[in-house]
């Protein structure tokens, strides 16, 4: 009987990575350049490790066909095509290869920066059409201009260093980076509004999460410096494309360069394709020979570590610990990560200085270091466009000037165990959770409000004056916007006359729904959250 680990590559891999995998006697390797969906569903039944790039969708439909699958490895940074929550529920470890694409994506952002400011694609097309329109395509110098970076993660930092070499002034907005850390890089931190107002060029480097969906909308474009340029190599959906076209027509934007779109592939009838003030590329940020080689080698290294030593490197839904430890800790790690993600989205975009993690009860008997890493991973993942794992979480938090304080106590009078997180900065925000039964995570307190809520999927957090009519209006607004309420959990403070609601909903709320909720009399806060 062949006991080797069965590895299936569905989307091809750089030859250097394949050769490295062939040297592992512990695996049985099958390679396809572009495996069709029907064949993949059949082959995945007997696969231990599935390696994909961006083409294959590892979704609920595909994961229903697994029986032996242990790992899905995305050969690249982005996990848009992998349903991580469903994989986690199925007990499948999800990994990515996060470092190979950083420089490549940053360089593509710079290529778009040059292209849009010097009209390179337009001039090339004109010349090929037999024209010589030298005056029409006169551009601008980058030297002395202000580059605004929306997000200062790994990719943003590379863009900044290259732009500084071009003698550009670099500013950034990232509420989770300290002014001191940015100053060491020669970068001035600004508020979101101030960054829009001063930037000659605005380059996006944040993840696509509910709070960044259509972050660049009509209101944001109205605050931008007239004649500015927009560059997006992050994710489609961060930019409201309709509002962007309006800003171009109004002269607010002089041009834009996009590598990512709200719908990909870009439809052939898209109005974007008719514009001469846009430079468009088909999601090429990670598409270089060097990046593909690096990603292939990185993926091979991770598989080798797993089959030889049982080590999980760059896992995004479990820490790098042994599989025996994982089976015991898994429910607590899930709770810790979801509490961290909830706190980050609840508190955003306030300035954060200190994150406190407190353990009480039986949970203190387990590996608290790994659980804290789960908290940090959950906290940082919604805030960064670059991947967060259990290896880099502490360093990423430190770079952003956020201190971590951990404490524990064996007594826990109300629950068997409790994990409580507090974020201090502009103001204090806290959340506490526990496990019901052996593995069902629950949020039991938000700030000083007691509650019993399930931290999963699309959520709406609201805070309001405790008065009649608010909850009824809330339900009416969501119903009118076609948003179905799955569960609603309420908490109240009779002394302060305030109340909160944490609502599980079946779909992402639209911006119109959020604005309508905020307009309800007595409504204080509305925050969309996704876990």
- pLDDT for 392 equals 73
Q: What is the pLDDT of residues 193-247, one digit of tens each?
A: 999 999 999 999 998 878 889 999 999 999 999 999 999 999 899 999 999 999 9
- State the CB neighbour count (10 A cutoff) for residue 325: 14
d(CA 127, CA 123): 6
**Cβ atoms of 363 and 372 closer than 8 Å:** no
> In the chain, where are the structural domains located?
1-99+287-317, 102-280, 408-530
Helix (H, G, I), strand (E, B) or coil at 132: coil
Catalytic-residue membership of 283: yes
- Kindly report the backbone phi and psi dihedral angles of residue 83, in degrees, each rounded to the nearest multiple of 5, phi listed first: -80, 90
Which pLDDT does position 181 carry in this prediction?
A: 86
At 358, list the tokens: 């407190």
3-state secondary structure of 367: coil
Closest CA to 52 of 74, 82, 83, 30: 74
Sign of CA dihedral 410, 413, 415, 418: negative
CB 205 within 8 A of CB 162: no
Q: Are 336 and 455 in contact (CB under 8 A)?
A: no
CA end-to-end span of the chain = 42
Report d(CA 94, CA 50) in Å as an integer: 10
- pLDDT per residue as tens digits for the range 212-222: 899 999 999 99
For helices 289-309 and 15-22, angle between their N-to-C axes, nearest 10 degrees: 20
CA 82 to CA 94: how far, in whole Å?
8
Output the pLDDT for position 321. 65
Whether 264 is a known active-site residue: answer: yes
Query: What burial class does residue 274 get, using C-beta atoms within 10 Å of its C-beta: 0-12 exposed, 13-18 middle, 19+ buried?
Result: exposed
Structurally, at CATH architecture level, domain 102-280 sits in: 3-Layer(aba) Sandwich (3.40)
Q: Which of 53, 108, 205, 235 is catalytic?
A: 235
Q: HSE, CB side, 13 Å, CA atoms: give it for residue 443.
A: 31
The answer to whether the bond into 230 is cis (omega within 30° of 0) is: no
**Rounded CA separation 221/217 (Å):** 6
pLDDT at residue 97, rounded to an integer: 87
| 65 in active site | no
pLDDT, residue 420, reads 96
Predicted pLDDT of residue 180: 86
CA dihedral (249, 251, 254, 256) positive or negative: negative
- Please say whether the dihedral angle defined by the alpha carbons of residues 296, 299, 305 and 308, taken in this order, is positive or negative: negative
Please tell me the pTM assigned to this model: 0.74
pLDDT at 256: 97
Specify whether the CB–CB gap between 500 and 522 falls below 8 A. Answer: no
Distance CA(236)–CA(225), nearest Å, equals 22
**By three-state DSSP, how is residue 445 classified?**
strand
> Given this structure, which CATH class describes domain 1-99+287-317?
alpha beta
- The answer to whether 149 touches 156, Cβ cutoff 8 Å, is yes
Rounded to whole angstroms, the Cα distance separating 434 from 303 reads 34
Homologous superfamily of domain range 408-530 = ACT domain (3.30.70.260)
Q: What letter does residue 308 receive in the DSSP assignment?
A: H
CB 441 within 8 A of CB 452: no
Confidence (pLDDT) at 179: 85
Pairing of strands 5-9, 49-52: parallel
Q: Report mean pLDDT in 10-residue bins for the chain, 531 residues.
A: 89 93 95 94 95 92 92 87 84 85 93 96 94 93 97 93 97 88 93 96 90 93 97 94 97 97 93 95 91 91 90 79 70 94 87 91 87 92 78 80 92 91 90 90 94 94 93 92 93 91 93 92 94 91
Would you call the peptide bond into 349 cis, given omega within 30 degrees of 0 as the criterion?
yes
**Which tokens in the block code for residue 451?**
């509650």
Catalytic residue among 89, 264, 309, 508: 264
Query: Which one of 6, 74, 162, 283 is the catalytic residue?
Result: 283
pLDDT at 517: 93
DSSP string, 333-362: HHHHHHHHHHHHHHHTTS-EEEEEEEEEEG
**Cα–Cα distance between 449 and 336 in angstroms, integer?**
19
- 481 within 8 A of 513, measured Cβ to Cβ: yes
Question: Can 102-280 and 408-530 be said to share one CATH topology?
Answer: no
């Amino acid at each position: 009987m062949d006991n080797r680990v069965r590895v299936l590559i569905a989307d091809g891999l750089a030859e250097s990575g394949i050769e490295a995998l062939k040297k592992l006697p512990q695996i049985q390797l099958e390679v396809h350049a572009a495996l069709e969906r029907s064949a993949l569903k059949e082959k995945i039944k007997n696969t231990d490790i599935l390696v994909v790039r961006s083409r294959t969708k590892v979704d609920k439909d595909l994961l229903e066909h697994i029986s032996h699958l242990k790992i899905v490895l995305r050969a690249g940074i982005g996990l848009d095509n992998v349903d991580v929550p469903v994989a986690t529920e199925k007990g499948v470890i999800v990994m990515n290869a996060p470092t190979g694409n950083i420089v490549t994506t940053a360089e593509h952002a710079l290529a778009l920066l040059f292209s849009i400011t010097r009209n390179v694609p337009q001039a090339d097309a004109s010349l090929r059409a037999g024209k010589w329109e030298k005056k029409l395509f006169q551009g601008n110098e980058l030297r002395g201009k202000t580059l605004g970076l929306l997000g200062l993660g790994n990719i943003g930092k590379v863009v900044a260093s290259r732009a500084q070499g071009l003698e550009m002034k670099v500013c950034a907005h990232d509420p989770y980076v300290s002014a001191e850390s940015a100053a060491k890089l020669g970068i001035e931190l600004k508020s979101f509004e101030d960054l829009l107002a001063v930037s000659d060029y605005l380059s996006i480097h944040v993840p696509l999460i509910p709070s960044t969906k259509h972050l660049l909308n009509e209101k944001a474009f109205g605050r931008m410096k007239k004649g500015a340029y927009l560059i997006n190599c992050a994710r489609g959906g961060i930019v409201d494309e309709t509002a962007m076209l309006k800003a171009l027509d109004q002269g607010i934007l002089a041009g834009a360069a996009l590598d990512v779109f709200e719908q990909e592939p870009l439809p052939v009838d898209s109005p974007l394709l008719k514009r001469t003030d846009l430079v468009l590329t088909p999601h090429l940020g990670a598409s270089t020979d060097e990046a593909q080689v690096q990603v292939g080698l990185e993926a091979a290294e991770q598989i080798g570590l797993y089959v030889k030593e049982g080590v999980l490197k760059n896992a995004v839904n479990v820490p790098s610990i042994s599989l025996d430890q994982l089976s015991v800790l898994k429910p607590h790690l899930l709770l810790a990560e979801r509490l961290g993600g909830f706190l980050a989205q609840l508190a955003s975009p306030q300035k954060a200085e200190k994150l406190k993690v407190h353990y009480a009860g039986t949970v203190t008997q387990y590996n608290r270091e790994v659980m804290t890493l789960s908290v940090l991973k959950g906290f940082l993942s919604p805030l960064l466009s670059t991947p967060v794992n259990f290896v880099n979480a502490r360093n990423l938090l430190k770079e952003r000037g956020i201190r971590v304080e951990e404490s524990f106590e064996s007594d826990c009078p109300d629950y068997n165990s409790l994990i409580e997180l507090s974020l201090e900065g502009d103001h204090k925000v806290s959340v506490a959770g526990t496990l019901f039964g052996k593995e069902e995570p629950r949020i039991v307190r938000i700030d000083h409000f007691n509650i019993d809520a399930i931290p999963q999927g699309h959520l709406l957090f609201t805070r309001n004056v405790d008065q009649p009519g608010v909850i009824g209006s809330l339900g009416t607004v969501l119903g009118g916007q076609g948003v179905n309420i799955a569960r609603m959990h309420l908490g109240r403070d009779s002394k302060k006359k305030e109340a909160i609601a944490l609502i599980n909903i079946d779909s992402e709320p639209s911006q119109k729904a959020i604005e309508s909720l905020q307009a309800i009399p007595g409504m204080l806060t509305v925050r969309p959250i996704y876990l």
